[in-house]
Chains A and B, each alone.
Chain A
Amino acid sequence: MQLTLWTYEGPPHVGAMRVATAMTDVHYVLHAPQGDTYADLLFTMIERLPRRPPVTYTTFQARDLGGDTAQLFKEAASSAFDRFKPSAVLVGSSCTAELIQDDPGGLAKALNLSVPVIPLELPAYQRKENWGASETFYQLVRSLAKPAAKDTSPPSAKPSCNILGPTALGFRHRDDVREISQLLQALGVDVNVVAPLNASVNDIQRLANADFNVVLYPEIASTTASWLERQFGQPFTRVMPIGVSATREFIREVATLTKLPIPDGLEKDMHSVWYSRSVDSTYLTGKRVFLFGDASHVVAAARFASEEMGFEVVGIGTYSREFAREVREAAKKYHVEPLITDDYLAVEEQIKSLHPELILGTQMERHIAKRLSIPCAVISAPVHIQDFPARYAPQMGFEGANVLFDTWVHPLMMGLEEHLLGMFREDFEFHDGAAPSHLGSSRVAEPQATALKGSAQIDLPKPPTSLTSPSSWSAEAEKELGKIPFFVRGKARRNTERYAMDQGLSTITVETLYDAKAHFSR
């Protein structure tokens, strides 16, 4: 038994729903009590789907438990089949139904439906949402995929691939599919099937017709891709094309698999590399960033953060235990301890102790960031409604890199703005308490009085991070501090006080000021 306040992943049957809802003509009959229908709102409200997930819930009640819940399941399955006329039926149990052991698979088989019935065994007390999605996709493909049709295509035909992994309720799956499909087209590769997103049963049946598979989301598609490789000899891609370097690697990987040349002009709309090299981005250097999310997004984002943004990765972690190894390896690269946990409070503790300047995480970290007033961008599921944007905003490919650059920089104060704020911090028209000048001088807020106490004797507002210092400034030291250019004065004051405290000095003299300067400029 484990105490949980917030959970990163839902139960495994929600993963199955993500696969079923992504597809066009399957129906999922879920043996479940009243209340489990809450999962519908994830799709209709968070993802804003204009249709109900294709799921029928048997809705058994306490009074049914003594009677025949199995009969209830059979009735629900057969009436769902008659009403929705799916091309394949998935059947399974939610956590409670798993305990009453009705065997939905066997019961559905006994109905002799005219379409394939795929029983799902998703152990709810052991596994979670992503595993459930992966297993469901795997069972679907295993049951439905057929050997490749006899090759009737002319020898000049383009190589083809499947794109595997995108589901309903996935973080930017819709846009990643579009971006990567366009990239593959540009490379001269046809996309045979995208699955499960928008795939039909018929599409699943013809997966083997492709030459290779693109694994877009390893958490969901790795198991299936490995099976397809064993079964039909289809190789699959290993690189998740997030960031410019990774996208280039992905392109080389595809080129190797297809023996196609890499055409020119693939990068014509890529701007993130130049933006990152532009001098205004200098302030991004060494920004301390903490990353948390599903394993593959975190590993990819850490690479982009470090190599393409120039950030310093100060912490990295994942809630996907199944993929913890990848995160551990990445952590070694950045010389940090990986945090493998699904305990939200542990993540919050870690963030508090690391003092990052930017958090890249899930919607859970977004809440932590809001509480701690740390800038944050979302890089991984679980996400909330605002992370299903109306506009095209992929994470993958070159456009994805543009999106990452923008969305990660956005929560930070812009570089020039930051410099200006520092430079004019003590200016009487431009201090922390002053309202923007375009709003009129009458809006100038209260602390103005203290900021106007004479140019050499300005009291900086104490930064919130500084500890109450026991050291006091001597008059000479204070005067000397006034000679320091005002845009670095605040930092000088903070460093000196910190140094004095570390040294146990009660008074800060001119000597202390310069000792501190020497100490920190090492």
Chain B
Amino acid sequence: MTQVIPISRSDVLDCTTNAVISEKGQREVFCGLTGIIWLHRKIQDAFFLVVGSRTCAHLIQSAAGVMIFAEPRFGTAIIDERDLAGIADANDELDRVVSELLTRRQDIKLLFLVGSCPSEVIKLDLSRAANRLNGKHGSRTRVISYSGSGIETTFTQGEDACLSALTPTLPNRRTRGKHLLIVGTLADVVEDQLSTLLRKMGIEHFDFLPPRNSSKLPEVGAETLCLLAQPFLADTAKQLESRGVKRLRAPFPLGAEGTTQWLQAAATAFDVDQKLFEEVTHAPYQRAKQSIERHRAQLEGKSITFLPDSQLEIPLARFVYQELHMKLLEIGTPYLHRQIMGPELEQLPRTTRLSEGQALELQLDRCDADQPDLIVCGLGLANPLEAKGFTTKWSIELVFTPIQGYEQAGDLAALFSRPFARKLKLVA
């Protein structure tokens, strides 16, 4: 049961050595600042202060869609001409804004200074600013900096930058014994489900990064093993490795198969008895399979192209190929990290076209030539592609919706089938 279900089709698997189309041009993606939208919901006593321009503020507000919170736990210190002309010292100004903010928001225990394109270009040193501000406010609020700038980070890489800035501050683990660290933001409900499964297998010592509260930073040490729950965390993994943490090789917990393989990696590392593992995973695995089935009937044989967005593209492609039996045309990803993606690429058919980076117009030309049944793309492109007759799925929904783990496998499949179901319903 834990074996990968052999696909009835005669595809030759493994595209780890496939040539990759590497392109440079217009990128239709968000920058790393966008990660603030989910990170601030996860770490509930943290504030994210972008040091940037009006564009940065407008971006986060537009990407977040609605303003649910009057005083959100993120904001922008907007650089103005006085700062640029040197009339005001940008560092003094930043200190003033931070003091104002922390006076107003006494509940904030962790402040992220988030670098942006303008702050990078004017070389405003936010790590020095963080040190300075820690001296002033550190007793109550810890200050950490990272960059979410578009010149350095693409969309989900913002989370990578945030977590790798957080990693050096994780306390040293003193307790003996193996310890598991699950890395990458997951919805609380997903964390809870995975926790239950791990405990049933007898794995008791595990933590999640990022934590729900900044006072509960997980400890790491030489006996810590880490398992990435999100595929875009290469720098964080590297940082953790430098702390002596060992990274477990696994695909990502998407779909029944992905989740099983991901859990298996933990089980093997913790010497969990295989029989116990199967006992624990049997029922949820079957449930997941069952919930996927209905959608597979609708999606089997349909072709799909992923435009680059969140780096979730390759694991998602593996899921739609393996469990929904869709036909992969092109999988675009902003960055291809072969080591981290290895266990995923092994399970993709060799005919898959992989592309890295983006030259938007050329990629859209390929869509025109390929005529995929479904295009997974960003919000800026979805309606124009629909108007041209394509069927699309907003990629951002795949980032904001809980899709990991067994109980979400059906929801994940539904995200792909819903655009078709809707088109079938509409007759006008």
Q: List residues of A whose CB falls within 8 A of some B CB.
A: 1-7, 9-11, 13-14, 33-42, 44-45, 48-52, 56-62, 64-65, 76, 79, 83, 94-96, 99-100, 123-126, 128, 345, 348, 363-364, 367-368, 371, 384
Contact = CB atoms under 8 A, between A and B. Distances in A.
Given A35-B117, A124-B53, A124-B55, A51 B77 contact: no
B27 to A, nearest CB: 5
Interface in B49-75: 49, 51, 53-55, 57-59, 61-63, 66-68, 70-72, 74-75
Nearest to B394: A45
Most buried by A among B53, B54, B68, B78: B54
Contacts of B386: 50
Most buried by A among B72, B80, B150: B150
A333 B414 CA distance: 57
B111 to A, nearest CB: 12
Given A38-B59, A49-B383, A61 B118 contact: no
Given A35-B31, A38-B63, A99-B121, A7 B54 contact: yes
Interface size class, chain B: 35 or more
Most buried by B among A2, A13, A35, A39: A35
Nearest to B147: A62
A371 B70 contact: yes
Interface stretch (B96-104, B166-174, B197-205, B313-321): B96-104
B29 A37 contact: yes
B363 to A, nearest CB: 13
A48 B380 CA distance: 10
A37 B58 CA distance: 12
B29 A35 contact: yes
Contacts of B34: 35, 38
Contacts of B83: 1, 125
Contact of B94 (A1, A6, A371): A1
A41 B396 CA distance: 12
Given A57-B26, A123-B81, A33 B75 contact: no
Interface string B251-285: 00000000000000000000000000000000000
Interface of B: 25-34, 49, 51, 53-55, 57-59, 61-63, 66-68, 70-72, 74-81, 83-84, 88, 90, 93-94, 96-97, 100-101, 117-118, 120-122, 149-152, 154, 361, 378-384, 386-387
A33 B117 contact: yes
B77 A61 contact: no
Given A44-B382, A45-B383, A96 B118 contact: yes
B235 to A, nearest CB: 14
B90 A3 contact: no
Contacts of A7: 54, 57-58, 61, 76
B153 to A, nearest CB: 8
A205 B53 CA distance: 35
Most buried by B among A13, A14, A57, A59: A59
Contacts of A83: 361
B58 A10 contact: yes
A371 B69 CA distance: 9
B151 A52 contact: no
A62 B93 contact: no
Contact of B67 (A44, A57, A128, A364): A364
Given A33-B31, A51-B387, A125-B53, A41 B379 contact: yes
A280 to B, nearest CB: 35
A41 B79 contact: no
Most buried by A among B27, B117, B378: B117
A36 B150 contact: yes
Contact of B151 (A1, A60, A125, A364): A60
B93 A11 contact: no
B60 to A, nearest CB: 9
Given A5-B75, A124-B54, A37 B26 contact: yes
Nearest to B396: A41
Contacts of A37: 26-30, 380
B26 A76 contact: yes
Contact of A96 (B71, B72, B121, B381): B121
Contact of A348 (B55, B70, B72): B70
Contact of A65 (B33, B70, B121, B379): B121
Contacts of A364: 67
5 contacts: A37-B26, A45-B383, A51-B384, A65-B151, A99-B84
Given A41-B379, A96-B117, A99-B122, A14 B58 contact: yes
A41 B380 contact: yes
A96 B151 contact: yes
B55 A10 contact: yes
A52 B364 CA distance: 12
